[in-house]
Structures are given as C-alpha cells and as structure tokens.
Amino acid sequence: MMSSQEKRVYMLLKAVIFHYHGLNDEEKLDLDKTADALNAHEEYQWAQEFIEQDYLTSFERARDFLNDIIADYPKPKRIELINMVWEANNLKGYVTEMEAAAMFKFAKDWNVQQELIELVQG
C-alpha cells in the first residue's frame, strides 16, 4: 500500500511528463485510470494544481520537489518510478523526443541513467 506522499510522487511524475509536451486525451485517460487504480484522486488533484500554478515552470518546479523527496528513496524505487513513466508513455505506442528528454533529466537527477538506457534498449 502506498503512502499519500508516494501517491503524490507517482501522480506528479506521471502528470508532469505527460504535460511536458501538452497533455492529450489518451494521456488524460491514463492519468484518470492511474488515480483510480491507486485510490489517489486527492493526490492527482494536487498534482494538477501544482502544474496549473505556473504551467511554464511546472517541470522545473516538479524536478526540485521530487528531487528533495526521491533523494532518500533506495535505488530500486527510483528505477521503478522511471520504469513506470517509460511504460506509461509506451502504452500509447510511442515516446516523443520531449518526453524522453524529460525522463532522462529525472534519471540523471536520480542517478539511474544507465537503468533508463537499458529500459529504452530492452
């Protein structure tokens, strides 16, 4: 069972990657389904509000916010989060260059770049 903080991390990470190039209907549906599956509607609303506060700076603000929390996460958990976002993007059949760049920024921040490269190649 995930804590509220873990749900916030999960929902914000996924939402900010999807919003990085502009959220489409398929991605919105995926976020809704994720919130349902995790019972994370409050955390999803919080993530949406976080992004809406200032859309143009939301990615960098999310990086700062997530880096403060995820620095304490064990490496397998950091890898799991990157994998989750990669898999979510692959569900639509492609990953845009902008999404990949955003994921690589997080992977670098969290010292899991090699693991993301292996996922991409895998």
**pLDDT tens figures, 60-114:** 999 999 999 998 899 999 999 999 888 888 877 888 888 889 999 999 999 999 9
Which tens digit of pLDDT belongs to each residue from 19-66?
Answer: 887 888 989 999 999 999 999 999 999 999 999 999 999 999 999 999
Structure tokens at 90: 């692959």
Half-sphere exposure of 67 (CA within 13 A, CB side): 13
Instruction: Show me where the domains of the chain are located.
Output: 4-121
Q: What is the pLDDT of residue 46?
A: 98
Share of the chain above pLDDT 70, in %: 100
Q: Which residues are CB-contacts of 33 (< 8 A; sequence separation ≥ 6)? A: none
Distance between CA atoms of residues 33 and 84, nearest Å: 14
